[in-house]
């Protein structure tokens, strides 16, 4: 039924296009973008060469269609973008500023930092015209980068096309997703660990490559979650980088799959940047985005020496949010979309979202985030102020837009509400936000816990072997709210921990560097968890200038071999003045990925090592050996030839 409605809407708008294409357009308070394709048709891949001019005389100044192209006047590549939105007569476009067909051009446009890749988004089914601009502004105001926006009016081949939103494309860049470059030479050591930008999305377009998750989205599901490479591009990413990224996500999902996914050390907390995940949920749940978690979902990871944690975002594509949707009950202003089951849909969210959202530590951070912003950036007054500002800004242009595209009072897939006027569309949006805000405030706990933990660099415990030291939990925080008790946990059975009221007696007969965390408890739930603090027992300070500077796993020698070969690897010091041992594994697998032999599995100090692998009892063939140390993972091949 949905397909028939979409086809009918597309045919109707196509039939009416000529009747409404002639709009009296000579000037605007918005920037004017003029595109000339020189007789070519814009298609959905590949981009065609065209000319683009931008008339922008500055904020508050009038822009006339006869003015010179004073903001940009040059070449572009342009193609139609989007998926379901391509059925609409008003198309969105991907634009690349270019010098010529072979070379793109980084340029600052409409107050946005220099880049070459841009989007001309066409609001159509969203008759408020502002849903994307609204949530993107709110996201940036809470310091979660997403695309910057600017309303413009567009003319293509002398035809007025209406209001568009000129936006940055989501991509790796120092002014967009700011992660380290990952080039073809970065195939080992720390440089292999980032940066990566990838996503969960529809598989539209050419050369969409990636991998399927090893875990079903729900028990008995026939669907699989598909992760797509975004940066490096599928045409540029190296085999070693593919292997590293897939292994990293497999490790994360494996951790989330286990019952101990919320273990203080073995759980997910040290794999992800939990605050980015909290904000991603918040920014998708408040407007109840029907595509959240399963489409237009970006993730990224920087290089380990910058930040080893997996991060969520930026958010993207909210035209089917804020009640502008008539399926999966996403128009409702109550409930969390994260829990809504859609078992028959091809596109599913990863299984780990619900487990994470149900974790009391995550839920507590979510409640605290709402409390922090509900009286400021996400107050009703502030949100309505943004809406009013945007609607005033496009007031003149919106009249021309709806002359060109007369959709007011007409159902456009997948509208839940059909307003006869623009004012009624805006009122519906405000009413929906008002009731959604109330539901959020009534259903998110106000009794959240909060601990201002001290920076791990400020607290370090140094002890001698067999020494007993009393540690107070108050040494690890500056202040706390709604906490009944604190417990201290360590990452090794080698450390003895005994509680004495609010203090802990710590001792060990085995030297090493260990980690401790503190757990905050409220109403019989663990609601707070600190970062790791360091305990050095029988470990002296070192000058690490002679230690390796980065992880490395060398090719075995000899190779091919019979029956033994030597494997060398290096572990750097990841701490400061103290040696930091890391849990390290070296495992051999067959070509099918079955584990053959564990050569090493223990905590190891920084240094250079070599291990002899004896394969006397194995048949000839190709084998893999994988080194895992901290967040470092690298795999190489070797050939046993008898």
Name, in order, each residue with C-beta under 8 angstroms of 174's C-beta and a sequence gap of 6 or more. none
Beta strands in 430-576 (DSSP E): 450-453, 460-463, 469-472, 477-481, 485-490, 496-500, 503-507, 512-522, 525-529, 533-537, 552-553, 564-571
d(CA 326, CA 317): 17
Phi/psi region, residue 58 (left: phi>0; alpha: psi -120 to 50; beta: rest), is left
For 97-111, 208-222, 544-558, which range has the lowest pLDDT when averaged over its residues? 544-558
Residue 580: per-residue pLDDT: 61
Residue 548: per-residue pLDDT: 83
The gap from C-alpha 438 to its chain's centroid, in whole angstroms, comes to 28
CB 148 within 8 A of CB 315: no
Burial class (CB in 10 A: 0-12, 13-18, 19+), 385: exposed
d(CA 20, CA 406): 8
Residue 7: per-residue pLDDT: 44
Residue 162's nearest CA partner among 285, 25, 296 is: 25
Average pLDDT over residues 430-456: 96
For 267, 320, 497, the CA distances from 334, given in Å and listed in that order, are 31, 16, 46
Residue 19: per-residue pLDDT: 38
CB 612 within 8 A of CB 564: yes
Rounded to two decimals, the pTM is 0.82
Q: Enumerate the β-bridge partners of residue 149.
A: 167
Beta strands in 330-459 (DSSP E): 450-453
For 142, other C-beta atoms within 10 Å of its C-beta total 15
Percent of the chain with pLDDT over 90: 82
User: Which domains, from first to last, does the chain contain?
Assistant: 2-168 (no CATH), 189-376 (no CATH), 450-537 (2.60.40.1080), 544-640 (2.60.40.1930)
Average pLDDT over residues 528-552: 78
Provide the pLDDT confidence category of residue 86 given band limits of 50, 70 and 90: confident
Indicate the SS3 state at residue 434: helix
Beta strands in 245-327 (DSSP E): 297-301, 310-312
For 162, 216, 291, 550, the CA distances from 394, given in Å and listed in that order, are 11, 45, 27, 53
CB 352 within 8 A of CB 297: no
Arithmetic mean of pLDDT over the chain: 92
Residue 258: per-residue pLDDT: 95
- Sheet with 310-312, edge to edge strand ranges: 210-212, 226-231, 196-200, 297-301, 310-312
Provide the pLDDT confidence category of residue 207 given band limits of 50, 70 and 90: low
Name, in order, each residue with C-beta under 8 angstroms of 543's C-beta and a sequence gap of 6 or more. none
Residue 8: per-residue pLDDT: 42
Question: Roughly what angle, to the nearest 10 degrees, separates helices 380-393 and 131-141?
Answer: 130
d(CA 174, CA 176): 6
């Amino acid at each position: 039924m949905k397909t028939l409605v979409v086809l009918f809407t597309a045919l109707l708008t196509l039939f009416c296009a000529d009747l409404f294409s002639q709009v009296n357009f000579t000037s605007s308070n918005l920037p004017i973008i003029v595109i000339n394709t020189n007789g070519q048709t814009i298609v959905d891949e590949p981009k065609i060469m065209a000319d683009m001019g931008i008339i922008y005389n500055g904020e508050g100044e009038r822009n006339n269609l006869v003015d010179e192209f004073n903001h940009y006047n040059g070449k572009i590549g342009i193609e139609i973008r989007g998926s379901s939105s391509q059925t609409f007569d008003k198309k969105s476009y991907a634009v690349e500023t270019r010098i010529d067909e072979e070379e793109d051009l980084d340029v600052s446009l409409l107050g946005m930092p220099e880049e070459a890749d841009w989007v001309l988004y066409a609001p159509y089914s969203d008759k408020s015209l502002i849903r994307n601009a609204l949530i993107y502004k709110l996201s940036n105001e809470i310091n979660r980068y997403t695309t910057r926006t600017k309303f413009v009016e567009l003319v293509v081949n002398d035809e007025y096309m209406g209001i568009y939103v000129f936006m940055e494309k989501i991509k790796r860049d120092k002014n967009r997703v700011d992660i380290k470059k990952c080039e073809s030479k970065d195939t080992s050591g720390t440089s292999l660990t980032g940066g990566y930008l990838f996503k969960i999305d529809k598989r539209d377009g050419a050369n969409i490559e990636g991998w399927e998750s090893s875990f079903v989205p729900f028990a008995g599901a026939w669907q699989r979650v598909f992760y797509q490479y975004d940066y490096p591009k599928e045409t540029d990413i190296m085999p070693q980088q593919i292997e590293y990224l897939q292994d990293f996500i497999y490790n994360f999902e494996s951790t989330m799959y286990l019952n101990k996914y919320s273990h203080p050390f073995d759980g997910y907390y040290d794999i992800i940047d939990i605050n980015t995940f909290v904000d991603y949920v918040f920014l998708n749940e408040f407007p109840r985005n029907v595509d959240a978690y399963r489409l237009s979902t970006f993730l990224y990871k920087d290089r380990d020496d910058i930040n080893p944690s997996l991060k969520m975002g930026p958010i993207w594509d909210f035209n089917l949010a804020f009640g502008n949707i008539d399926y999966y009950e996403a128009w409702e202003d109550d409930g969390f979309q994260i829990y809504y089951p859609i078992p028959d849909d091809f596109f599913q969210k990863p299984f780990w979202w619900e487990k994470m959202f149900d974790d009391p530590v995550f839920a507590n951070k979510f409640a605290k985030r709402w409390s922090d912003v509900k009286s400021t950036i996400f107050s009703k007054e502030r949100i309505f102020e943004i809406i009013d500002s945007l609607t005033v800004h496009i007031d003149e242009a919106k009249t021309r837009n709806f002359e060109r595209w007369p959709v007011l009072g007409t159902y456009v897939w997948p509208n839940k509400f059909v307003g006869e006027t623009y004012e009624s569309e805006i009122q519906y949006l405000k009413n929906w936000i008002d009731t959604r805000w109330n539901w959020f405030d009534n259903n998110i706990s106000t009794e959240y816990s909060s601990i201002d933990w001290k920076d791990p660099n400020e607290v370090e415990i140094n002890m001698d072997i067999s020494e007993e030291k009393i540690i107070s939990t108050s040494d690890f925080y500056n202040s706390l709210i709604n906490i009944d008790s604190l417990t201290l946990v360590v990452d090794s059975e080698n450390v003895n921990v005994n509680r004495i009221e609010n203090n802990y007696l710590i001792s060990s007969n085995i030297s090493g560097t260990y980690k401790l965390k503190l757990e905050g408890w409220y109403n019989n739930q663990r609601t707070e968890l600190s970062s790791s603090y360091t305990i050095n027992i029988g470990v002296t300070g070192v000058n690490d200038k002679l230690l390796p500077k980065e992880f490395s796993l060398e090719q075995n020698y000899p190779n091919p071999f019979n029956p033994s070969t030597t494997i060398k690897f290096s572990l750097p010091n990841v701490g400061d003045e103290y040696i930091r041992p890391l849990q390290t594994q070296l495992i051999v697998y067959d070509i099918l990925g079955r584990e053959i032999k564990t050569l090493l599995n223990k905590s190891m100090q920084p240094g250079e090592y070599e291990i002899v692998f004896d394969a006397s009892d194995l048949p000839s063939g190709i084998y893999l050996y994988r080194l895992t140390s901290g967040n470092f993972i690298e795999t190489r091949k070797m050939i046993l030839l008898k």
